[in-house]
Chain A
Amino acid sequence: MHIPDGFLDPVWIAITYAITIGYGIIAAKKAKKLWTPERAALLSVLAAGIFAAQMLNWPIPGGTSLHFVGGALAGILLGPWLGYFVLVLVLVTQCLIFHDGGITTLGANILNMGIVDVVVGYLVFKAVIRAMGNTRKARLIGAFLAGWLGITLAGIVCGIEIGLSPSFPYGVAITVPVMGTWHAILGVIEGIITAIVVDYIYTKAPHMVISLKTPVEVVSRAA
């Protein structure tokens, strides 16, 4: 899903950078209230883990591959504000050091994987927990759906960006179904991995799953 340079025209480059920077400013203000040494450590270890996990491309005969993206996992563990910075750390490192994803498309790549995937993952997980209660079954179902829907919608938004950009010769009528369908299929694996990791972390260290805390608990730990 890392869009290379050349796919987006200047207007879409500007739009996606503007949304990403705007969200980042809000996220930085919100994150101040949540900031603790414990969460700073968790943020960087999670970012390092997602970076390493993304290097494990599982090639599929035919010339494509799947790999874990981790946006929903970051949203579930650290919430939509700190989770954004986890993916920013991963995507900026990949782009600036390894040329994985374009510099002109970095705004779009952060928008897709660092905002859409993170926020959708967080909201879906919260909704399932609210509906089913904080049980193991609910956490597994919630994390699976969060991982699956997060990556599927991120793929659809990616399809919209490249489909609407005049630089790309195919329109949204083609790019959205292709990206959406493909990521809905790959999203099953993303969902399974997200569910397993959330379940494991909740079992070992439940305090690390911020999205299961009440807003008062989240802020009071940082105070």
Chain B
Amino acid sequence: MQRESIWQRHRKALITIIILVIISPIFGVILANMVGYHEPLDVAAEKLGLHEWEFTWTPFTDYTVPGLPDTIGYIICGFIGVGVILGIGTILYRAAAAKTERGGAA
């Protein structure tokens, strides 16, 4: 029997997620710049002189992509994050489905 993909199972939810990522810079970049938003705990750290330890093993700090405008970078980061999560989810889903099929065949 043909197994349904995650896309086929949750198409409406995934379309909603794509729309959320596309509109996210309106809130996370454009409006944030208008009101001078910074993460509250980061602001507290700066004012108190606490030093954040920098581990920069990816170039996507604070949902930016080097060389790209913040809005485009924010969208790309959104898709990278969603892609990573769904990639892991697909592995889990296939493993669970394979286990179920083995159980059913046994």
Contact = CB atoms under 8 A, between A and B. Distances in A.
Contact of B50 (A43, A65, A93, A168): A168
Interface stretch (A16-24, A100-108, A128-136, A146-154): A100-108
A100 B62 CA distance: 6
A48 B92 contact: no
A104 B39 CA distance: 18
Given A6-B45, A45-B14, A93 B84 contact: yes
Name B's interface SS.
helix
Interface string B44-55: 010010111101
Interface in B64-106: 74, 77-78, 80-82, 84-86, 88-90, 92-93, 95-97, 100
A44 B89 contact: yes
Contact of A99 (B43, B56, B95): B56
A26 interface: no
A40 interface: yes
A61 B95 CA distance: 47
Interface centre among A43, A64, A97, A104 (most CB of B within 10 A): A97
A36 B13 CA distance: 19
Contacts of B74: 55
A51 B50 contact: no
Nearest to B61: A99
B34 interface: yes
A49 B24 CA distance: 12
Contact of A41 (B6, B35, B37, B84): B6
Interface centre among A39, A48, A64, A169 (most CB of B within 10 A): A48
Contacts of A4: 39, 41-42, 45, 52
Contacts of B56: 99
A7 B13 CA distance: 36
Interface string A85-128: 00001100110111110111000000000000000000000000
The 4 closest A-B pairs by CB, nearest first: A44-B89, A37-B97, A52-B20, A55-B24
Interface of A: 1-7, 35-45, 47-49, 51-53, 55-65, 89-90, 93-94, 96-100, 102-104, 167-169
6 contacts: A37-B93, A41-B10, A42-B10, A44-B92, A51-B78, A55-B28
